Copies of this chain bind each other. A is one copy, B any other.
Amino acid sequence: MSSIFTGQKLRLSIFGQSHSEAIGMTLDGLPAGLAVDLETLQAFLNRRAPGRNDWSTPRREEDRPEFLSGLKDGFTCGAPLTAIIRNTNTRGKDYAQLKVLPRPGHADYTAEVKYGGYQDYNGGGHFSGRLTAPLCIAGGIVLQELERRGITVMARIAAISGIWDDSPFLEPVGEKPFPVTDDAIASQMIEAIARARAEEDSVGGIIECQILGLPAGIGDPIFDGVENQIARLVFAVPAVKGIEFGAGFSSAEKRGSENNDAFCIKDGRIQTCTNHAGGILGGITNAMPVTFRAAIKPTPSIAKPQQSVNLQTGSEETLCITGRHDPCIVPRAVPVIEAAAAIAIYDLI
Contact = CB atoms under 8 A, between A and B. Distances in A.
Interface stretch (A147-155, A176-184, A258-266): A258-266
A105 B259 contact: yes
A254 interface: yes
A169 interface: no
Please state the number of chain copies in the assembly. Answer: 4
A90 B42 CA distance: 28
Contact of A241 (B33, B251, B265): B251
Interface stretch (A45-53, A55-63, A119-127): A119-127
A79 B32 contact: no
B233 A241 contact: no
A22 B247 CA distance: 34
Contacts of A345: none
Nearest to A225: B235
Interface in A66-86: 66-70, 72, 75-82, 84
Nearest to A205: B252
Given A28-B3, A68-B22, A295-B248, A223 B216 contact: no
A159 interface: yes
B77 A297 contact: no
Interface in A257-293: 257-265, 270, 272-273, 276-278, 281-286
A244 B242 contact: yes
Given A204-B251, A206-B252, A300-B256, A307 B262 contact: yes
B115 A78 contact: yes
Contact of A67 (B21, B110, B232, B265): B21
A257 B202 CA distance: 7
Nearest to A200: B257
Specify the main secondary structure of chain A where it touches its partner: mixed
A258 B33 CA distance: 35
Contacts of A105: 256, 259-261, 277, 281
A324 interface: no
Contacts of A120: 72, 77, 79
A46 B317 CA distance: 50
- Which of A127, A161, A233 is most buried by chain B, counting CB atoms within 10 A of its CB? A127
B68 A21 contact: yes
A140 interface: no
A69 B66 CA distance: 16
Nearest to A4: B11
Contacts of A11: 1, 4, 6, 13
B263 A316 contact: yes
A185 interface: no
A40 to B, nearest CB: 19
A260 B300 contact: yes
Given A11-B13, A227-B240, 13 more contacts: A5-B223, A16-B82, A24-B68, A79-B126, A109-B270, A113-B286, A114-B219, A231-B231, A231-B243, A254-B298, A260-B300, A262-B308, A264-B307
Interface of A: 1-6, 8-17, 20-24, 26, 28-29, 32-33, 66-70, 72, 75-82, 84, 102, 104-107, 109-111, 113-120, 125-127, 131, 159, 161-162, 196, 201-206, 216-217, 219-225, 227-228, 231-233, 235-236, 238, 240-249, 251-265, 270, 272-273, 276-278, 281-286, 295-302, 304, 306-309, 311, 314-316
